[in-house]
């Protein structure tokens, strides 16, 4: 067997993901994800964040497949209330966006905003997921910041 290289045409690199975080947000390494963007921390308050992840699927995997999985996951959260969803186009790419309100055992009431898209390559389909979390309080600037960050997403196949 000949030497195999990662990335290559057989094992493509993950897509390029460009995001514009709000002023003051910082980056952080988190397990099992590409990383996270974090709002400025405030003592006694949940820190709003957006976790960025990519998962590899077989060729032919479609946005409707991951959309059903996201909706099922969010619906299973404690005291979950799913808000309406519709297909969204962000920077020319189709996304499934869903927001849920639920009760986190340690953090209390949270809003979770999940956006997913599928990047098709010859050898694989990559699911890009942006998951934002914050406290769902009235006039919450954190939720607006998460919306803005997700709206800035520019995802392209790896070169």
Which tens digit of pLDDT belongs to each residue from 77-89? 999 999 878 789 9
Judge whether 94 lies within some domain.
yes
92 pLDDT tier (thresholds 50, 70, 90): very high
User: What percent of the chain has pLDDT above 90?
Assistant: 81
Reply yes or no on whether the pLDDT at 2 is more than 90: no
Residue with tokens 């890009």: 128
List all residues 6 or more positions away from 125 whose beta carbon is below 8 Å from its beta carbon: 56, 57, 58, 59, 60, 61, 62, 118, 119
Range of the domain at 49: 16-156
Handedness of CA 36, 40, 41, 47 (dihedral sign): negative
Q: Report the percent of the chain where pLDDT is more than 70.
A: 99
CATH number (domain holding residue 122): 3.40.1000.10
Q: What is the pLDDT of residue 158?
A: 87
Q: Is residue 3 part of a domain?
A: no
DSSP bridge pairs for 115? 97, 130
pLDDT at site 133: 96
> Which of the four pLDDT bands, split at 50, 70 and 90, describes residue 136?
confident
pLDDT 10s digits, 10-68 = 899 999 999 999 999 999 999 999 999 999 998 888 999 999 999 999 999 999 999 99
Q: Are 9 and 122 in contact (CB under 8 A)?
A: yes
Residue 144 lies in a domain: yes
Is 65 inside any structural domain? yes
**Residue 43 within any structural domain of the chain:** yes
Mean pLDDT of the chain: 93
Number of domains in the chain: 1
User: Residue 120 burial by CB count (10 A; 0-12/13-18/19+): exposed, middle or buried?
Assistant: middle
pLDDT of residue 7: 92
Query: Is 2 within the bounds of a domain?
Result: no
């Amino acid at each position: 067997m000949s030497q195999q290289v990662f990335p290559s045409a057989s094992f493509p690199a993950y897509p390029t993901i460009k995001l514009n975080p709000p002023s003051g947000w910082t980056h952080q390494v988190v397990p099992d994800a590409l990383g996270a963007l974090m709002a400025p921390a405030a003592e006694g308050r949940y820190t709003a964040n957006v976790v960025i992840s990519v998962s590899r699927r077989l060729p032919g995997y479609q946005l409707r497949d991951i959309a059903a999985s996201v909706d099922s996951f969010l619906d299973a959260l404690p005291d979950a209330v799913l808000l309406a969803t519709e297909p969204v186009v962000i920077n020319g790419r189709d996304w499934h966006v869903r927001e849920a309100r639920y009760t986190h055992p340690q953090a209390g009431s949270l809003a979770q905003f999940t956006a997913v898209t599928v990047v098709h390559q010859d050898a694989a389909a990559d699911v890009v997921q942006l998951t934002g979390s914050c406290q769902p309080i009235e006039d919450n600037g954190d939720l607006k910041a998460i919306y803005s960050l997700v709206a800035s997403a520019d995802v392209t196949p790896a070169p």
